[in-house]
Amino acid sequence: MSFGQGGPFGGQGDSTPNWEALADESEARNRRKRWLMIGGGAIAALAVAGIVAAAVITSSGPSDGNPSAHPSTSGQSALPDDKPSFPDVSVPPPPNPQDYISDPKKDTAPLNPDTLFPQRTMVVGEHSYAKTTAASTGDCTAGAQGALVSSLSHNGCKQLLRATYTKGGVAVTIGVAVFDSPAKATAVMNESKPNLMPLPGGEVPANFCQGSKCRMTTNATGRYAYFTIAGFTNGKDVGGNDASQQISRDGGAYAFTQIAQRGKDQAAKAAAEQLKEAERKAGRTS
């Protein structure tokens, strides 16, 4: 819109307002304001929409159907869920050595004088004694005398192992009888006198504990009953607190130790096999 040379108030020197021109000018100003307001609102709306869209993209990330591919807060991709799993392989408790000298199904290691009495010297504490001879028999009564003969027989003795040790004029014969169960070994211990037949050989004469008084003991552990007969090699009777007493005690302790060691060795072997089997299963299932 254009005005005359004198503007909205008419020609030069004319003091009468041109109301029509003023009205047109006011209408033009109002239209400009409305367009500015509409344009500004649109720009603001677009700006807000852009901010919201940016926020959605940032929080959602690329959508490829794999939740594990979303960025982590550190800017690195999260690890996938397919972590390696380790099998829970349980190892049974260690075997009890007593079980192996009580159950003939478990007590399967070779049993002979060389395995039960392998050492050439019997060592008990500070005392040591030389082994002179050893023997084994399936006829248990052949190595017994007196009441022990019938006791071994009716309780089903399977094997009788003997070994003789000596030192300084005294000697001891150890006898170990094998049964099918601990109950039978205990019965032999309780129902008869030891009466083990001495086993001569080497420095121990053939008449050892024959016709002279000797010391005798009996005991049992697991399915084994064990006996000792100790005395002087010159045929002197034992009595009181003499040298025969110590070798008798040591012979009994040694017999128990050797039987117990048999159980420990077999239990240790079984434990090693169990561990090996557990490791094999762990390797197979991992």
- Cβ proximity of 231 and 65 under 8 Å: no
Interatomic CA distance for residues 132 and 163, integer angstroms: 8
170-178/159-167 β-pairing: antiparallel
Render pLDDT for 32-51 as a digit per residue (tens, 0 to 9).
Answer: 555 444 444 444 443 444 44
Of 131, 129, 154, nearest in space to 250 by CA: 129
Of 238, 231, 149, nearest in space to 194 by CA: 149
pLDDT for 194: 81
- Cβ proximity of 130 and 119 under 8 Å: no
Spatial neighbors of 229 by CB under 8 A, at least 6 apart, are 172, 173, 175, 194, 196, 197, 198, 209, 214, 215, 216
pLDDT for 64: 44
Spatial neighbors of 30 by CB under 8 A, at least 6 apart, are none
Spatial neighbors of 278 by CB under 8 A, at least 6 apart, are 89, 90, 91
Interatomic CA distance for residues 237 and 187, integer angstroms: 30
Interatomic CA distance for residues 284 and 273, integer angstroms: 16
pLDDT for 142: 96
pLDDT for 273: 87
DSSP designation for 142: G
- pTM for the complete prediction? 0.67
Output phi, psi for 62, to 5 deg: -70, 135
pLDDT for 84: 52
Q: List C-alpha distances in Å: 189 to 126, 173, 219.
A: 28, 17, 6
pLDDT for 153: 96
Below-50 pLDDT ranges, the chain? 1-16, 19, 22-23, 35-79, 86
Interatomic CA distance for residues 60 and 70, integer angstroms: 8
Of 274, 278, 266, nearest in space to 106 by CA: 266
Render pLDDT for 5-25 as a digit per residue (tens, 0 to 9).
Answer: 444 434 444 444 554 554 455
pLDDT for 11: 41
Strand extents, DSSP E, the chain:
121-124, 127-137, 159-167, 170-178, 215-221, 224-232
Provide the token pair at 225. Answer: 């009953």
pLDDT for 7: 42
Looking from the CA of 252 toward its CB, the CA atoms found within 13 Å total 18
Q: List C-alpha distances in Å: 176 to 3, 78, 144, 149, 253.
A: 142, 70, 11, 14, 12
215-221/170-178 β-pairing: unpaired
Let me know how long the chain is: 286
